[in-house]
Amino acid sequence: MRFSSLKIEEALDKLAKKFNIIVVENSVSTDLEISSIVEKFDNTQYVVVFKKLQNYPNFIGVANLLNSRQKLMYLLGVDSDEGLYRKILEAEEKCNGNIIEVSTHDFKEVEIDLRKLPIARYYPQEPCPYLTSGVVIGLLEKPDGTCVYNASIHRLSVLDRDKLVIRLVPRHLYTIWSLNREQGKDTRVAIVWTINPVLLLAAACSPPFGVFELRLVEPLCGTAPKVFMYDGVLPVPVDAEIVIIGRILRDEVAKEGPFVDVLRLYDEVRLQPVVKVEKILVRADRSYNFVHYLVPGLREHQLLMGIEKEAKIWKFVKNVVPEVRAVRLTYGSGGWLHAVISIRKNTDGDAKNAILAAFAAHPSLKHVVVVDEDIDVDDPSDVEWAIATRFRADRDLVVINYVRGSTLDPSCIDPESGLTCKVGIDATCPIAEKQKFLKARPHKTPEPSTSIAQGINELIK
């Protein structure tokens, strides 16, 4: 699906053609109320729009843009899980999308005061408002004059009117910050808040270090992002609603947290780098701005964080078994720690190979369940039935001790390294005895004609 631009309103217009939009008409506080309302529509296909944000009359809130794979597939123009996985993997492998540099933009500068932006606090024990859907574009200025760029999503909490605290995990932006520090430099950043959600997906992907994630956008949706070069070196997408220009300071840290993570647990309090804000830009071509609320721990957070990992699991498992029917990072595990994989196997060893491949593809995985193609991976009861009837611990259990997992897992042996124990469950039928394990299902017939009776008199008519 090609967009004429990456403006958020175009994505909303396209979503509205297939999915309903729920408009919240009453005034809503950014302090705890956003998450309470979005949670009610979490497991639905609704897009949520907050028409009136209390104390912020010039902003309109949006949520649930990508809380289902159906929405993501629709925006990417694919109609199957395999099509979705292939599109993500091919975009990462090629990394050849265009980025169009322009000389003009529709931004205006506003007062540098983060408290005048409708940044939300989502859960009661969180200490302050923070951004969850901000794409941070970071710049590494190498001694030879060349530049390396990275676009990634980071938690950004409000410390002061002109300072944020950024949660940096040891990935690409952390590497850029560390290398800049070695040169005695701060790290220049542009924080993009609210744009077409396809750009969010690109920023959530993990191409090799040095590949700019904005190059994934055109292969994903057919539209190349347009940027202007702030100070001649920092690319800023012109279709964003709000852009915060600043620097991740090399020598200043502050307490960050506790904030809720993808598992809906309060993360640890850590000392993290401070971002000094130098400029705030907002779109100037209309009287209001959209802001995207990504509620921690809900399905939109899980899908953005996990869908690329799901695609990699599909790829790795496909390399070792004849046919992969479906892969799911489960909602109950934060879309992160548990995978259910449906395969069609040729030998009884295929399921265990699939387990090992899944752990290799996504090292944060803790538990993997492999089922036959007749099991619905989206139905936890069907998966449980397969475990109850087809799994035998002495034959079908895979245990891997003392291996790196996820630092988000509070039960891990070492919270710093994520050292843990992993379990794989082969819940597939033994091939020689398959008939013994088949689940009885009703014969397929045409859908019956039905009606709803309001009482016994109506029932017996």
What tens digit of pLDDT does each residue of 194-244 get? 999 999 999 999 999 999 999 999 999 999 999 999 999 999 999 999 999
Going by pLDDT thresholds of 50, 70 and 90, the confidence category of residue 450 is confident
Among 42, 81, 186, 261, the active-site one is 261
3-state class (DSSP) for residue 136: strand
Q: What share of the chain is helix, strand, coil (3-state, %, to 5)?
A: 30, 30, 40
Q: What is the mean pLDDT of residues 135-158?
A: 95
Give the chain's radius of gyration (CA, Å).
24
Name the residue among 298, 305, 324 with its Cα closest to residue 313.
Answer: 324
- % of the chain exceeding 90 in pLDDT: 87
Q: What is the mean pLDDT of residues 297-308?
A: 96
Long-range contacts of 420-423 (CB under 8 A, 24+ apart): 420/366, 422/359, 422/365, 422/366, 422/367, 422/368, 423/366, 423/367, 423/368, 423/397, 423/398, 423/399
Q: What is the mean pLDDT of residues 387-416?
A: 93
* Positive or negative: CA dihedral 432, 435, 441, 445: positive
Q: What is the DSSP string of 38-55?
A: HHHTTTSS-EEEEEEETT
The strand pair at 100-101 and 226-230 is best described as parallel
Q: What pLDDT was estimated at residue 446?
A: 86
CA distances from 5 to 99, 149, 198 (A): 12, 22, 11
H and E: helices and strands count for the chain: 12, 21
Is 348 part of the annotated catalytic residue set? no
Q: What pLDDT was estimated at residue 459?
A: 65
Question: Is-above-0.85 flag for pTM?
Answer: yes
Beta-bridge partners for 28: 53
Neighbours of 54 (CB within 10 A): 14
Using the predicted structure, report yes or no on whether residue 415 has a pLDDT greater than 90. no
Q: What is the mean pLDDT of residues 44-51?
A: 96
Q: What pLDDT was estimated at residue 266?
A: 96
| Two structure tokens written together for 453 | 């009776």
Q: What pLDDT was estimated at residue 1?
A: 63
**Residues 293 and 62: beta-carbon distance below 8 Å:** yes
Using the predicted structure, report yes or no on whether residue 263 has a pLDDT greater than 90. yes
On average, the pLDDT of the chain sits at 94
Low-confidence winner among 201-210, 275-284, 421-430, 444-453 (lowest mean pLDDT): 444-453
Q: What pLDDT was estimated at residue 366?
A: 96
CA distances from 109 to 133, 243, 244, 245, 279 (A): 21, 10, 10, 11, 7
Using the predicted structure, report yes or no on whether residue 14 has a pLDDT greater than 80. yes
Name the residue among 66, 83, 21 with its Cα closest to residue 48.
Answer: 21
Peptide bond into 129 cis (omega under 30): no
Q: What pLDDT was estimated at residue 458?
A: 67
**Residues 127 and 258: beta-carbon distance below 8 Å:** yes
Using the predicted structure, report yes or no on whether residue 418 has a pLDDT greater than 90. no
Going by pLDDT thresholds of 50, 70 and 90, the confidence category of residue 454 is confident
DSSP state of 443: P
**Residues 367 and 423: beta-carbon distance below 8 Å:** yes
The strand pair at 289-292 and 323-329 is best described as unpaired
| Two structure tokens written together for 266 | 């309060």
Name the residue among 179, 201, 174 with its Cα closest to residue 272.
Answer: 174
Domains in the chain, CATH or no CATH each: 8-299 (2.30.110.10), 319-434 (3.40.1670.10)
Using the predicted structure, report yes or no on whether residue 434 has a pLDDT greater than 80. yes
Q: What is the mean pLDDT of residues 298-322?
A: 96
